[in-house]
Amino acid sequence: MTKDNLIHARTCVYNVNYHFVWSVKYRHKLLNERIEKRLKEICSEIAKDKEFIIREFEVGEQDHVHVFVSAHPKIAPSYIVKMLKGITARKLFIEFPELKRKCWKGHLWNSSFYIETIGSISEEVIRQYIQKQQKGG
């Protein structure tokens, strides 16, 4: 763990990171360059407003999104995804009406998502560290 990764908050010091992936409903290739650019802007606004940090954001094959996020432990990962998917869908439908016509039943995103926690230390290193702690007494 390096000090560069640590974020100091009022009640804790943390390094909490997530990798999220979600796709366009039915994997339709709708996220062209114009929409991708606006999608990134909207996600940056959401992150600032909801107080988490987007470290990386990319659209893949015009049909899915990868996001690397750092967040305070009090913010549930499901809340982060809910905000990103919900707000972006609403705003993109307003700004790009052609999207709504191409999306069956008006859903931009698939209802599921992938999540993975990301850390700077491997699980094995953490296990060894805990196992080597001295017993109090």
Measured in degrees and rounded to the nearest 5, phi and psi for residue 23 equal -125, 160
pLDDT at 32: 97
Catalytic residues: 129
One digit per residue, the tens of pLDDT, for the chain of length 137 reads: 557 788 999 999 999 999 999 999 999 999 999 999 999 999 999 999 999 999 999 999 999 999 999 999 999 999 999 999 999 999 999 999 999 888 877 899 999 999 999 887 877 888 887 788 866 54
Contact present, 53 and 89 (Cβ < 8 Å): no
Q: Please tell me whether the overall predicted TM-score, pTM, comes out greater than 0.85 for this model.
A: yes
| pLDDT for 14 | 92
Instruction: Measure the N-to-C terminal CA separation of the chain; round to a whole number of Å.
Output: 29
Cβ 81 vs Cβ 35: under 8 Å: no
Rounded Cα gap, residues 120 and 59, in angstroms: 24
